[in-house]
Chains A and B, each alone.
Chain A
Amino acid sequence: MIKLALWAKSLDKVCVVTDAMAAAGLGPGRYRLGKKEVVVAQGGVPDGYERQPLGGWPGFQTGVML
């Protein structure tokens, strides 16, 4: 997906953001995301975000690219 975005937009029109939540920088556990609870499992992927481009980074919900 990242390669596709770079190909479609070119390097100078792409940026990456972390969309980091409270869990960023910490390990597996239960965290807040506003009024929601988010469980970060072993491996650092919050529940429901397994398929996001950068979902493997602990506490980072997703990578957003434009």
Chain B
Amino acid sequence: MTRALSLVRGDRADPVPGDPGGTVIIRGGEIVLVGGEVIPQGEAIEVHGSYVALGFVDLHLHGGGGHEVMDVSLDALAAISLVHAKGSTTSFLATTLTAPWEEIERALRAVEEAMEGAPQSGDPRRPPGGPVPEPSTGRRPGPGVPPGSGSPANTDAPRDISLPPSYLPGSRTPKGFGMRAAGQPPGRTGLHSPQRRYVLPSARRGGVRFPPRHAPLLGVLHGAPDLGLSDRRSGGGGASWTALRWSSLPMDITCPQA
């Protein structure tokens, strides 16, 4: 039987109202039990006075660790995942920047490819793109170096991924392409109106996930909430999306291998 790990008497920082504390039991890499009256199993770690948080889901994230989503690179996405996982974010919505359509499309294809190879719940596989690269400094050697040279972009041609017609310029798709790349069904667009609210399948699937082994006491939030989304077009017409509200919180949680 897989040994268990119990986090005892921690203050849980999670979205469940009215149940702030208790014990979290992890077995086989998954959180199997959470509650205030739970008897600890296996190795017990006293975490009283500390927060035990779910892996955070960041819905607007351009980059990290010296890399950007727009780098069009699985390695870059893995490095971004790693640096944010260290800071407790284990899922994120890869967010593009204002750029010509072709560049955005390339970035989205890389994101989609990364998602296809992303580990599922309880799957401790390495992230896409092979070994996790160390975060680059992301810094330029000095003034005068042209933009884009801070970290090398992967210039390999992305694998051919068929995008549905709604992804293409001229369709009804708004400029929140980052959402579309994550599998958003077309045809429901808009702002604030409930019937026009987006539901984001990618967030349910965890977006670009990363094994949370680098995140202390954290898990992957997966199968997550439906999200109401509003498009907040950033300056210059770039794609910029943020969550409007959390509506429901069905969760399926995994944790680092205990």
Contacts and interface: CB of A to CB of B under 8 A. Distances in A.
A26 B61 contact: no
B62 A19 contact: yes
A21 interface: yes
B147 A37 contact: yes
A13 interface: yes
A61 to B, nearest CB: 8
Contacts of B151: 22, 32
B135 interface: yes
Given A17-B58, A24-B87, A35-B147, 20 more contacts: A12-B245, A15-B59, A15-B246, A18-B58, A18-B60, A19-B95, A20-B62, A20-B84, A24-B83, A24-B84, A25-B65, A25-B83, A25-B84, A26-B139, A29-B138, A31-B66, A33-B68, A34-B147, A64-B60, A64-B242
Contacts of B67: 22
B29 interface: no
Interface of A: 9, 12-13, 15, 17-26, 29-37, 59, 64, 66
Given A32-B68, A34-B70, A66-B244, A18 B137 contact: no
B135 A31 contact: no
Contacts of A24: 63-65, 83-84, 87
A30 B148 CA distance: 11
Contact of B68 (A15, A22, A66): A22
Given A13-B245, A29-B138, A34-B70, A22 B61 contact: no
A31 to B, nearest CB: 5
A50 to B, nearest CB: 18
A53 B62 CA distance: 18
